[in-house]
Amino acid sequence: MKKKLVSLVLTAAMMGSVLAGCGGSSSADNTPAAGDAGTAQTEPSAAVESADASEAAGADQGTEDLSGTLSILSWYDETKAAPVIEAFNAKYPNVTIDFQYSPPVADYVEKLSTLLYSGAGPDIFYMALENREDLIKGNYVEDLSNEPYMTDGTIPDSVKTTYGADGKAYSLAVDCWVGGIFYNKDLFDQAGITEEPKTWEELLEVCQTLKDAGIQPIMDNCQDAAVNFTAPLYGSEVKSKNPNIVQDIFDGKATFKDTWTTPIAMWKEGLIDNGYLTADMVGATSDEIVTAFATGQVAMILSGSWNLNTIDTINPDMNYKCMGVPGTEETYYCGAVNVGLCINSASQNKELAKAFLEFAASPEGLEAQYKGYGGFTIANGYSPEFPEEIAEAVTQVKDGKYYIPMADWLSYTESLRLTYIQSLQDCMVGTITPEEAASKLDAKLAEVSAE
């Protein structure tokens, strides 16, 4: 039996981070709702204080020249945040953490918006894809570009581009989630496939080889905007050649039709028209697809790192791996940088806030976050052992070889996400063409931008 490194606790912890990448917010159009200030304040604030010096291990070695109270609105609950708070207080025993938690995604975005709009925002908080635009454009967050962890190579460029604007970085994100094509190595061996496909044409050849061997090649229900074929194909075929293409779309210099038709057509003509993906799969649940994969009924599925534990629970001895979606020249993965810490630009405790972020970027802080939050560390300075099935994918995502549309759609994110998925499903069942699917995104952008 293979040694598995993912536990139920780690997988559950990851899910809070994954929601942001998957566009899980129920708030429409990426616009935070001010909500009811009274409602936003109903969750109690938990003060997490350092223990007495006589009882706290290592407190006498802490940094005692900083003191005061630092407020945080956390994306993670107290149980997950405890290792981080404890490690921080071991270094800064005279700093009290005023800890508040709001569950992601919609509740968190709404509560943070309410606090910031009312001038009662916490000293530090989290930036997600869903609130990134409003936090940056509203000048609610401190510029972190010149902080040591941003300039010394600790934080990869993928974080700076995800949570930055105009060459500035506004959020400290240290981990990610990853996804791609999960494939059954034993079924590949059974069909005589000895290598992972390196190009789109080779992937199609693999599908046919599996089919000829009596093995169902692949399953996907096309229900996830973050984990599908067309997103990484867009990254490899379009975005890699023109990094500014999405901004050009929003500036009216290009269209979704111009740029999305090609990856959607590659997907439809290659996988659907050849019968490897079928219209009835749209009705399958994600659980059904994962179970089919784990029980050897299908050779490949599109999936994310949050399903590792489910697969291992169903079939502990399964021999599988996550590979990227190969394009004509490059291979891209599904994935995203997780939420990141920000400093409130209006904070009166910026020295403490900066100390917390500096700690979060340190080897000790990275280790504490890995233990508490369970995301896959991409910051340099701490290198945990990742599950073998996903290790290469983590490396590739860290190096920027991934694409998630919601990270690029800075405005009207939720409206575009819903249109994107519906259009792909319509294309999969044959009611519209790839060109029409891409054009629907143009129509939706025109509609919501005119409101």
In DSSP notation, 333-394 reads BEEEE--EEEEBTT-S-HHHHHHHHHHHTSHHHHHHHHHHH--EE-STT--PPPPTTTHHHH
Is the domain of 219 the same as that of 245?
A: yes
Q: Is residue 422 part of a domain?
A: yes
Kindly state whether residues 325 and 364 are assigned to the same domain.
no
Residues 151 and 239 placed together within one structural domain of the fold: no
Phi-psi region of 29 (alpha: psi -120 to 50; beta: other; left: phi over 0): left
> What sign results for the dihedral spanned by CA atoms 277, 281, 285, 290?
negative
DSSP per residue over 30-68, as a string? G------HHHHT-SPPEEE-PPPTTTSTTGGGS-TT--E
Residues linked to residue 219 through DSSP beta bridges, in sequence order = 301
Statement to judge: residues 81 and 155 lie in one domain = yes
236 and 349 both lie in a single domain? no
The reply to whether 217 and 314 lie within a common domain is yes
List pLDDT tens digits, range 144-203: 999 999 999 999 998 998 999 899 999 999 999 999 999 999 999 999 999 999 999 999
Look at residue 98 and tell me if it is in a domain. yes
Q: Is residue 18 one of the residues assigned to a domain? A: yes
Average pLDDT of every residue of the chain: 87
The count of domains in the chain is 2
Instruction: Give the separation between CA 298 and CA 121, rounded to whole angstroms.
Output: 49
Domain termination residue (choose one: 353, 374, 395)? 374
Q: Is residue 209 part of a domain?
A: yes
Please state, for a pLDDT cut of 90, what percent of the chain lies above it: 78
Residue pair 239/246 in contact (Cβ under 8 Å)? The answer is yes
Indicate which CATH number applies to the domain containing 279.
Answer: 3.40.190.10
Q: 78 lies in a domain? A: yes
Peptide bond before 246: cis, by omega within 30 degrees of 0?
no
With a cut of 90, say whether residue 46 has pLDDT above it: no
Task: Answer yes or no: is 152 within a domain.
Answer: yes
Strand pairing report for 300-304 and 218-219: parallel
Within 268-349, where are the H helices?
Answer: 286-294, 308-314
Q: Are residues 168 and 260 in the same domain?
A: no
Supply the pLDDT for residue 413.
Answer: 86
- Residues 211, 130, single domain; the answer is no
Please check whether residues 148 and 213 belong to one and the same domain: no
Residues 13, 160 within the same domain: yes
**Phi, then psi, of 428 in degrees rounded to 5:** -65, -35
> Among 325, 318, 323, which residue's Cα sits nearest to residue 292?
318
Please state the pTM of the whole predicted model: 0.76
Q: At what angle do helices 8-21 and 363-373 cross, to 10 degrees?
A: 100
Eight-state DSSP code of residue 417: H
- 314: containing domain: 179-334+404-449
Of 26-30, 323-327, 372-376, least confident by mean pLDDT is 26-30
Are 378 and 158 contacting, i.e. CB atoms less than 8 angstroms apart? yes
For the stretch 50-109, pLDDT in tens is 333 333 334 344 566 899 999 999 999 999 999 999 999 999 999 999 999 999 988 999
What contacts 225, CB < 8 A, 6 or more positions away? 22, 23, 231, 404, 405, 406, 417, 420, 421
pLDDT, tens digit, 9 for 90 and up, residues 330-355: 999 999 999 999 999 999 999 999 99
Q: Is residue 136 part of a domain?
A: yes
- Find where tokens 């918006």 sit: 113
pLDDT band at 398 (very low <50, low <70, confident <90, very high): confident
**132, 167: one domain:** yes
Domain contains 379: no
According to the model, what pLDDT value does residue 374 have?
A: 84
Do 343 and 329 belong together in one domain?
no
Count CB-CB contacts under 10 A for residue 420: 26
Gap between the Cα atoms of 429 and 224, Å rounded:
16
